[in-house]
Amino acid sequence: MATSCCAGNQKDLAAAMQRHRFTTTQRLRTFLVMADDKTRNEAGNIRDALRVSQLDATELDTQLFEVIKAQLNNIFTYFKPQFLVKYSPEINAIIRSILWKYSVGSDASTIGQQLLDLKYMNTRSTCPDDLWMTRRQRLAHACLFVGLPWLDERKAQLKASTSSVPHSEHFWYAVQWISKAVRILSLLNFLVFLTRGRYQKLSERLLGIAAVFPHPVGSRQIGFEYLDRELLWHGFAEFLFFILPLINFRRMKNFFSRHLSLRSPATKEQRSERDFTECTVCGLWPFNPQQIGCKHIFCYYCIQSNYAADVRFTCPECGHGIAGADGIAPVVLETGS
């Protein structure tokens, strides 16, 4: 209706120009002003959405659908598994129709587009006052958004159930070819979208709807402070990964324990029976017991690994040092005869 009103305005103007015998220059000026008005409407307030925003919106829609489906699967966790599998196409169609109802059905934009401040514009509208999706376009969108995926998912069962109907195989053969053609056309459409920036999906091209920024400041604002922070943390983490293997923590720990504690080395003679049953490093029964000159006993692995990491390793209990690699010796039990 608005389209005809606009066309009517243009006709009236043309008639008025004819009546008042406008000169060619005057006509040209009027035409330019009108064209400029239209351009201002389209290019000033409404701008084509960026390709990346359109792709992001589609990605968000897909993710939203997946999230809702996962939640639904959680609800039906304790039902028979066949239930969800059997009615999966119908459940998907119900989810899609609910999503459609509260997105394109009510606001002429998908939920992903709403999050990115995009809206579907009717590219076939010639009237600058009425640029949004018409009711007919919305209903056609519902058919393509809900009906076609359902048909695609139910195809195999429908084909099996109609096998007794005469000539049904010709119909399904045609459906198969159409779906192949749609796939190829979708790919071509996407390549055109990448170069032109309009009609990301084949359905959008067929319906004549394109995603636009409806508001003048609706362009994509990137918060660079988050980006900077992310980069900084990333750099810091990489630096840590580089530096950590170069720090000998065992040596640092030994250094501090050596200098901060006041201990006097305990001699072998002070060794009690309990010392034989406990490794001074790991606290367990000493495996292949070793000694370094003090009364304390170590597992072979515990003392050798500590000495390999730090040649100035001292006994953690009494602070007795190791006199070279020969300072570590197996414990020999002297049995009195």
Which residues of this chain interact with Zn ion, rule CB under 5 A?
279, 281-282, 294, 296, 299, 302, 315, 317-318, 320
Nearer of residues 205 and 320 to Zn ion, judged by Cβ: 320
- DSSP designation for 223: -
Q: How far is the CB of 298 from Zn ion (least distance, A)?
A: 6
Distances (CA, A) of 114 to 104, 151, 166, 214: 10, 27, 47, 11
Nearer of residues 131 and 266 to Zn ion, judged by Cβ: 266
Nearer of residues 225 and 326 to Zn ion, judged by Cβ: 326
Residues 96, 188: Cα–Cα separation, whole Å: 26
**What are the structure tokens assigned to 206, written together?**
């067929």
Q: How far is the CB of 85 from Zn ion (least distance, A)?
A: 56
Q: How far is the CB of 327 from Zn ion (least distance, A)?
A: 12
Nearer of residues 3 and 305 to Zn ion, judged by Cβ: 305
Q: How far is the CB of 334 from Zn ion (least distance, A)?
A: 19
Nearer of residues 57 and 315 to Zn ion, judged by Cβ: 315
Nearer of residues 146 and 279 to Zn ion, judged by Cβ: 279
Instruction: Read off φ and ψ for residue 175, nearest 5 degrees.
Output: -60, -40
What distance, in Å, lies between the first and last C-alpha atoms of the chain? 119
Q: How far is the CB of 265 from Zn ion (least distance, A)?
A: 6
Q: How far is the CB of 302 from Zn ion (least distance, A)?
A: 3
In terms of Cα–Cα distance, which of 17, 16, 36 is closest to 25?
A: 17
| DSSP codes joined into one string, 154-185 | HHHHHHHHTTTSTTHHHHHHHHHHHHHHHHHH
Q: What angle do CA 33, 205, 55 make, to 5 degrees?
A: 95
Contact 43, 212 (CB under 8 A): no
Handedness of CA 240, 243, 244, 247 (dihedral sign): negative
